[in-house]
Amino acid sequence: MEERELVARAKAGDREAMGELYEAHARRVYTVVRRLVGDEHLAEDLSHEAWVRAFEKLHLFRGDSAFGTWIYRLATNVALNRLRRSSKRDTVESSANLPRIVKAPDDAVVNQRVLSLALDQLPPGYRRVLVLHDVEGWTHEEIAQQLNCSAGTSKSQLHKARARMRKLISPPTSEEGGARGEARL
């Protein structure tokens, strides 16, 4: 059955069609939410919230885009709104307070698990831009529109986030806090 038909059936209240739509897009939705919020339990809540809201508001889906795009955007909004609310309470940690994910100096491969753990440790403001740009492939213009900031701010946040990630996943060196980032061009 075509996805359009599934959507039509789901709009009419057909739970089986909803289940099929869920099955087709659940991983994508959970993944983006999980990476954006950096917390497994919160991601479970928000993914659930996104899906319930999607089926509740499905009559508003006009089919201008694919259903997958729509639910992806909806889930992203749910996650970013939560981050926005919680960022008012959070204080940005200094790099000195961040736990370092220790890697052996001869570890040549960027381990995906280590990368995911480090992502979770980024301050939310950095993480959301890094995830949207480097992981999800959004442009700075799209991010700026979504976050209501300028593309320049998005770029700046991205570069800071990458620098923070490097600190988190790099092996300790004798230059810790030394040359790089201080004697600059």
Cα–Cα dist 79/46, whole Å: 6
CB of 16 to another protein, least distance (A): 5
Helix (H) / strand (E) element for 166: namely helix 151-169
Q: Take residue 22 and report the two structure tokens written for it.
A: 């869920």
Cα–Cα dist 80/96, whole Å: 26
Q: Take residue 61 and report the two structure tokens written for it.
A: 């889906």
Residue closer to another protein (CB basis): 64 or 89: 64
Residue closer to another protein (CB basis): 28 or 90: 28
- Residue numbers 106-165 binding another protein by CB under 8 A: 106-110, 112, 115-116, 130, 134-135, 137, 139, 141-142, 155-156, 158-160, 162-163, 165
* Site residues, another protein (CB under 8 A): 1-3, 6, 13-16, 18-20, 22-24, 26-31, 34-35, 44, 47-48, 51-52, 55-56, 103, 105-110, 112, 115-116, 130, 134-135, 137, 139, 141-142, 155-156, 158-160, 162-163, 165-166, 169-171, 179-181, 183-185
